[in-house]
């Protein structure tokens, strides 16, 4: 092997030069990397029938077509999409949520319109969505800011039982990293109260048992996992179906439903003059409390989401439709937001 020789001062200069380049490289890397934030927020929003304007032969979406009962046009659709984007932008004093659970979205296409062609277009949101077997074709989804959240795993949770002629939207499970935490997220949209709250409660109880089994499996596999279980559950915390999740579990909510009922905005949904909190963000209190976290939860009641309740009294959400009549609002539900802050 041929060896080359350099004067000592040249070798020293090379070492100094290499060290200086490495130093400058790591300084530049430190400047370009975004520091891990000690605070992030999670939003859930039932966006009330976010359909496209195209007919899908395997879905019961005929009323949401330009010639359908609701006269659902591109203009109305994009007005709604822009309203949803505006709501998300303003929901946390312009500090946009890192994670957004949605329900009543028809498909991936409408999610793309929301992420890429609404006021959210510059915020680098990604989305996770699976088609479900719901007969109307409405699904749940999760939006996430790519700069804050890294998905590791996602899967749909089948809640349909064809043997009993029971078809409903799937739940969505996502595992990911945010602010150096591993989160396990389940997005839900449980069966409605159509046919009566008492008569339909067994359907929600059946779904609740599946979701509780998923939660138990996560807790068996991981020590004190950080869980977020959110959605439109079509039930208050006191309902038997919700108690399947809450009873003898680590899950809790940051909202006191009883105290909310005495306020002008007394819940997330208003039916026949009565406010109800049927949208929830539940979290695992043990795993967050032991890590020195501060959690704050509230209902988002921006002025443009509200209108006077002329039939009863007070205020109500300004919905998109009342039956076949177009009202031009964003949704018949109000969003709910959870802010998580690390104190140490």
| CATH (domain of 111) | 3.60.10.10
Rounded to an integer, what distance in angstroms lies between the CA atom of residue 80 and that of residue 73? 11
- Residue 251: domain span: 38-342
Asked if the structure places residue 213 within a domain, the reply is yes
Shortest CA distance to 50 belongs to which of 264, 331, 301, 262?
A: 331
In a domain, 315, yes or no: yes
pLDDT at residue 46, as a whole number = 98
CA trace torsion 114, 94, 288, 130 (10° rounding) = 0
Residue 60, Cβ neighbours under 10 Å: how many? 12
Question: Is position 17 within any domain?
Answer: no
- 24 assigned to some structural domain: no
In-domain check, residue 1: no
pLDDT of residue 230: 98
Q: Residue 2's pLDDT is what?
A: 37
Closest to 92 (Cα-Cα) out of 135, 27, 130, 148: 148
- Domain annotation covers residue 56: yes
- pLDDT tens series, the chain, 344 aa: 433 344 444 444 444 444 444 444 334 433 333 445 689 999 999 999 999 999 998 888 999 999 999 999 999 999 999 999 999 999 998 789 999 999 999 999 999 999 999 999 999 999 999 999 898 999 999 999 999 999 999 999 999 998 888 999 999 999 999 999 999 999 999 999 988 999 999 999 999 999 999 999 999 999 999 999 999 999 999 999 999 999 998 999 989 888 887 788 999 999 999 999 999 999 999 898 766 899 999 999 999 999 999 999 999 999 999 999 999 999 999 999 999 998 87
Instruction: Identify the pLDDT of residue 292.
Output: 85
27, part of any domain: no
The number of domains in the chain is: 1
Q: Is residue 21 in a domain?
A: no
């Amino acid at each position: 092997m041929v060896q080359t020789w350099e004067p000592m001062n040249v070798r020293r200069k090379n070492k100094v030069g290499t060290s200086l380049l490495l130093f400058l490289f790591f300084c530049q890397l430190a400047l370009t990397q975004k520091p891990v934030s000690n605070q992030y927020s999670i939003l859930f929003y039932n966006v009330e029938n976010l359909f496209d304007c195209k007919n899908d032969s395997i879905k019961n979406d005929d009323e949401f077509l330009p010639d359908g009962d609701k006269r659902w046009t591109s203009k109305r659709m994009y007005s709604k999409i822009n309203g949803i984007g505006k709501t998300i932008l303003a929901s946390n004093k312009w500090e946009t949520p890192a994670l957004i659970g949605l329900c009543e979205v028809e498909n991936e296409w409408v999610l793309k319109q929301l992420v890429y062609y609404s006021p959210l277009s510059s915020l680098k949101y990604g989305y996770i969505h699976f088609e479900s077997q719901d007969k109307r074709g409405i699904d749940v989804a999760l939006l996430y800011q790519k700069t804050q959240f890294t998905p590791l795993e996602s899967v749909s949770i089948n809640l349909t039982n064809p043997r009993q002629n029971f078809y409903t939207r799937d739940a969505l499970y996502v595992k990911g990293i945010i602010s150096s935490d591993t989160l396990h997220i389940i997005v839900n949209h449980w069966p409605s109260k159509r046919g009566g709250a008492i008569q339909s409660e067994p359907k929600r109880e059946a779904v609740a048992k599946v979701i509780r089994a998923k939660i138990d499996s996560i807790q068996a596999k991981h020590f004190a996992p950080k869980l977020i279980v959110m959605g439109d559950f079509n039930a208050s915390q006191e309902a038997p179906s919700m108690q399947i999740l809450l009873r003898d579990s680590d899950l809790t909510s940051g909202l006191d439903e009883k105290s909310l009922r005495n306020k002008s905005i007394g819940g997330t949904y208003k039916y026949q003059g009565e406010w109800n909190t049927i949208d929830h963000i539940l979290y695992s209190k043990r795993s967050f409390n032991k890590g020195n976290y501060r959690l704050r939860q509230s209902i988002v009641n921006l002025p443009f989401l509200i209108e006077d309740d002329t039939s009863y009294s007070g205020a109500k959400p300004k919905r998109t439709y009342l039956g076949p009549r177009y009202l031009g609002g964003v949704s018949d539900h109000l969003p709910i937001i959870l802010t998580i802050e690390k104190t140490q």
